[in-house]
Structure 1
Amino acid sequence: MTNLNVDSDNLLNQNRSITNNRQHHKYKHLHIWFPNIFEFKGGIQVYSAFLLEALQSLYPNTEYDVFLKHDTRCLSNVSLINGIRFHFAGKWHIKLRTLAFATQIFKSGVWQTPNLIITSHLNFTVVAYLLKRLKGIPYWTVAHGVDAWNITNPTLKNALYHADRILAVSNYTRDRLLKEQNLDPSKISLLPNTFDPSRFKIDGKPLHLLERYKLKAEQPIILTVTRLARSDGYKGYDKILQALPEIKRQLPDVHYILVGKGDDRLRIEQLIVQLNLQDCVTLAGFVADSELGDHYNICDVFAMPSRGEGFGIVYLEALACGKPTLGGNQDGAIDALCHGELGALVDPQDVGAIAQTLIQILQGTYPNPLMYQREVLRQKVIDTFGFVRFQHTLADVMKNSPIGSQK
C-alpha cells in the first residue's frame, strides 16, 4: 500500500538524495523513445513528458536523443528542451510511419550506441531487443495498462522478456504482467503516474461553466473525464448513466457532465435517450487543457468506475482539486486511490453499488471523512504522487539498476 505519511522535511531530504545521485551515477548518453508528447495529451503522453523532465533534472549533463513517432515538431518551453535533440517521425504518412520510425531508431542506435534506451511504449521494445543483440545496449520500457494486457505476439513477448527493466505504473499493472507473462519479478519496478498540481487547484464552481451548461451552483454534479472511444468502454461512464435514474430518484437535481470525445459518442447518446436522461446529462466533448481544472472544480464528485485502467491520472487531478473521487476496485484505480484511503472503490460492474456510493458521497455521508477535507486531500495526493516523489522513485530505480558498461 502506498505510504501517505510524507511531510515537507522528507521531501527536502528526497531532493538532497536526488542531487547526490547526479554526482554518483553518470548516464552519458540516453536514447528516449516515445509515441509522442507534444501534439496529443493522453495518459502515456503525459507520463512520457514527466519521465523526460525527471530524467533531465536527475542527469542535466547527459546527452539526450528523444525519438517521437507521431509528433511533427516541438511545442514546449525552453527549459525542457535544453540539452535534448528531438527527432520526429510524424510527418511520414501513417501507413509508413511505423517502418520509418523503426528504421530511424535502429539506425541511430547502431550509429550512436547510447548507454541506455528507455521507451514508454512496449511495442518499441522489439527494435530495442535487436539493438541489444547487435550492440549490447540495455533497454527499459514502461508498462501502462491496456498496452500490456494479453500480449500474445511471440516477438513482442520475447522483447519484453529480455528488457533490462520494466517500469510499471501500478501494482495492478505489475501483477497482471507477472500473471500473464514469463517475466523475472526483480526486473519490474514501480514508477506510478504523477501530475502537475499547479494546474489543478481548489476553487469554487466556475461561473462561466455554470452558465455554459445552464446549471446552478447548488446542484449536485458528477464528472467524468475520459476518451469516448469504443476501445475504452472499460472506463465505466456507461455504468454511471445506468446508475443515474436511481441517483436522480433521491437527488432530483443531479447532473452528470461527461468530458471527452471519440467514436463511442453515438452509443452514449442513444443510451441517454433510452434511459430518458436528456435533461440531466451534458456531453461536453473535447475540453482544452486550459479549462480542465475548471471542469474538476465544477463537480461535487469525480467518478470513473473503470475495470481495466492501468492507473488513471485523472484521479490525481480531481483529488488535487479537493474533489471526492470514485473508482473501480478491480484495476489501477486501487493504486491511484491508495486502496480506498483517498477515495471510494466500488465494483465497476455493480450499477446499484455505483448509484448508492455516489448518493452517499453527494449527501456527505460516505464513511471516509478525508474525502470531505479538501485541503488535506489535496496535500495527501501531492505528497504521494507529486513530481518530487516521482523523481525520487526514478532516481532510486536508476541508482540500483546496472546499465552495462559506460561509454
Structure 2
Amino acid sequence: MLFQKSLLHLWIPNMFQFTGGIQTYSAFFLSALQSLYPNIDYHVFLKHDTFSSPNFPFLPDTKFHFAGTVHPKFKTIFFATKIAGYGLWQRPNLIISTHLNFTIAAYWLKRMANIPYWAVAHGVDAWNIDRPALKTALQNADKIISVSGYTRDRLLAEQNLDPTKVILLPNTFDASRFQITPKPEYLLKRYGLTTNNSIILTVARLDRSEQYKGYDQIIQALPEIRRYLPNVHYILGGKGSDRSRIMQLISQLDLQNHVTLAGFIPDNELGDHYNLCDVFAMPSKGEGFGIVYLEALACGKPTLAGSKDGAVDALCHGELGALVDPDNIAEIAQTLIKILQGTYPHSIMYQPEILRQKVKEIYGFDRFKQSLQEIMQTELVK
C-alpha cells in the first residue's frame, strides 16, 4: 500500500534526449503521477539520458539518476546494478518500470525485499516474448499497464498472465501543441507546393527495423492515386538508416516529383506539418498504439492507419479514421483516393473541429490523468 509520503521508483529507458513512443508515454506518465500525488518522494532512473530538461514540468524535489554517460558496452549491467542497489537500500513502496525488460531486476527485488512492481507494455517489447526470465518477471508483476487493447490482448494470449492484473491506460498527447490552422505558407514554399496539391503526410522513424510503418505501401500506391489526383504529393518526415533504400524505390517508380523526404521534423514544426497535409497516413502493422495519429486528429486531419496493430485503438476501431489492410496496396490507394476526393463514407473525417474534440475527449491528458488515478486508487491512501 502506498501513502502520500511514500517512496516511488520509476525505471525509464530515456525521456529527455530522444523522442519516441515509450519516451513520450513515460513523460506523460510521470507528469500525471506528480500532478495527482505531489507529496510522494520520486526517484527516476533513466538508462540512456545524461541530464534532465528545464522544459519538462517535473516537481523540483524529483531525484533523477542518469546512466547515459556509461559506455554502451557496460550500460545495461551498470543500470541494472544501480536500480537493484537503490532498491535494496531505499526499499521503495512501489517500483514502476516503463519498459518490460527492466522487470527482471524488479522480480529479484521482489523476491529479496518483497517490493511490489508494475510495468508498462507498449508494442513490440510485449509481443512474442520467449525469454524465460522475462516471462517469469511478467507473471510475478503486481500490475502490467498496457497502452492499447491490442497489446493487452496479445499479452494475455501469449503469456500465462492473470487478466485482472493487465490493465489498460492508452497513450495521450498534448492538445495545446496541436491546433487546427490553415496550411502554413512557409512549408508550402519550402516544399514547392500550393493549396491545389493533395498532400499525404507520414511522420515516422525511417529505420530499417521499422519498415512496418507502411511508407513503402503508400509510395507503391501513389501511381494509382495519381491516376485520379495528378497533383497528389507525399511528404515523408523522419530520418534513419532506411532513407537510401526509400530513395531507390521512389526512383524506380519515377516519383521523384511527387515524393518529398522531409528529413527530421523538429517539434516546433510538427503541428505545422500536420496542418499542411490533407490526410495523415501510416498504414503500419507493428504499432503498439501510435501517438502520431492522435496529434494529426487534434489538428483536425483525416487519418488512415493499419487494421492489424495498436493503431486500431488509436482510431477507436474506425470511429476516428480509416483502417485498411496494411498489406493491401490497392486498398490503401483506393481509400486515400476517396479521402482526398471527399467521398470516404465517414462524415466525421471532414469535420475538423469534431475530430479534434473527440480525440481530446477520448485521449486527452485530462482523461489520461483520470484513468491513472482510477488505477492508482487501490494503491494510494490520500
User: Would you say same fold, with TM above 0.5?
Assistant: yes
The question of whether the paired residues in 1 share the 8 Å contact of 2:235 and 2:259 is answered with yes
- TM-score when scaled to structure 2? 0.98
Q: CA deviation at 1:180?
A: 1.0
Work out the CA distance in 2 between the residues paired with 1:358 and 1:301: 8
1:224 paired residue among 178, 202, 205 = 202
**Residues 341-381 of structure 1: CA deviation (Å, up to 9, x unaligned):** 10000111100000000000000010110011001110100
> 2:102 aligns to what?
124
> 1:146 aligns to what?
124
Amino acid at match of 1:134: M
The question of whether the paired residues in 1 share the 8 Å contact of 2:34 and 2:59 is answered with no
- 1:250 equivalent to 2:228? Answer yes
**Residues 148-181 of structure 1: CA deviation (Å, up to 9, x unaligned):** 1111111111111111100000110000111111
Work out the CA distance in 2 between the residues paired with 1:79 and 1:213: 35
> Given the superposition, is the C-alpha separation of residues 262 and 27 from structure 1 closer, same or farther in structure 2, using an over 3 Å criterion?
farther
> 2:213 aligns to what?
235
Q: CA deviation at 1:384?
A: 0.4
Amino acid at match of 1:236: G
Q: CA deviation at 1:82?
A: 1.8
Work out the CA distance in 2 between the residues paired with 1:88 and 1:79: 18
> 1:387 aligns to what?
365
Q: CA deviation at 1:83?
A: 2.3
**Residues 93-129 of structure 1: CA deviation (Å, up to 9, x unaligned):** 1111111111110000000000000010000001001
Work out the CA distance in 2 between the residues paired with 1:225 and 1:136: 43
Work out the CA distance in 1 between the residues paired with 2:155 and 2:370: 24
- 1:39 equivalent to 2:14? Answer no
1:357 paired residue among 335, 339, 347 = 335
1:176 paired residue among 145, 154, 163 = 154
Tell me how many residue pairs correspond in the alignment.
Answer: 380
Identity value in percent: 66
- 1:315 equivalent to 2:272? Answer no
- 1:373 equivalent to 2:373? Answer no
Secondary structure of residue in 2 paired with 1:166 = strand
- 1:262 equivalent to 2:235? Answer no
> 2:179 aligns to what?
201
> Given the superposition, is the C-alpha separation of residues 305 and 109 from structure 1 closer, same or farther in structure 2, using an over 3 Å criterion?
same
- 1:293 equivalent to 2:285? Answer no
> 1:61 aligns to what?
39
The question of whether the paired residues in 2 share the 8 Å contact of 1:311 and 1:332 is answered with yes
> 2:4 aligns to what?
26
Runs of 5+ consecutive residues of structure 1 not aligned to the other structure: 1-23
Secondary structure of residue in 1 paired with 2:239 = coil
Q: CA deviation at 1:76?
A: 2.8
1:159 paired residue among 122, 130, 137 = 137
Runs of 5+ consecutive residues of structure 2 not aligned to the other structure: none
Work out the CA distance in 1 between the residues paired with 2:111 and 2:220: 52
- TM-score when scaled to structure 1? 0.92
Work out the CA distance in 1 between the residues paired with 2:327 and 2:121: 25
> 1:135 aligns to what?
113
> Given the superposition, is the C-alpha separation of residues 250 and 378 from structure 1 closer, same or farther in structure 2, using an over 3 Å criterion?
same
The question of whether the paired residues in 1 share the 8 Å contact of 2:8 and 2:94 is answered with yes
Work out the CA distance in 2 between the residues paired with 1:25 and 1:293: 40
Amino acid at match of 2:147: V
Work out the CA distance in 1 between the residues paired with 2:322 and 2:247: 27
Amino acid at match of 2:223: P
Q: CA deviation at 1:84?
A: 0.6
- 1:280 equivalent to 2:258? Answer yes
Secondary structure of residue in 2 paired with 1:182 = coil
The question of whether the paired residues in 2 share the 8 Å contact of 1:25 and 1:399 is answered with no
Amino acid at match of 1:155: A
The question of whether the paired residues in 2 share the 8 Å contact of 1:27 and 1:59 is answered with no
Work out the CA distance in 1 between the residues paired with 2:331 and 2:57: 47
2:302 paired residue among 324, 333, 339 = 324
> 2:60 aligns to what?
82
- After superposing on structure 2, the runs of 4+ consecutive aligned residues of structure 1 that deviate more than 2 Å are 24-27, 76-79
Amino acid at match of 1:376: I
> Given the superposition, is the C-alpha separation of residues 333 and 374 from structure 1 closer, same or farther in structure 2, using an over 3 Å criterion?
same
> 1:97 aligns to what?
75
TM-align CA RMSD: 1.3
The question of whether the paired residues in 2 share the 8 Å contact of 1:243 and 1:354 is answered with yes
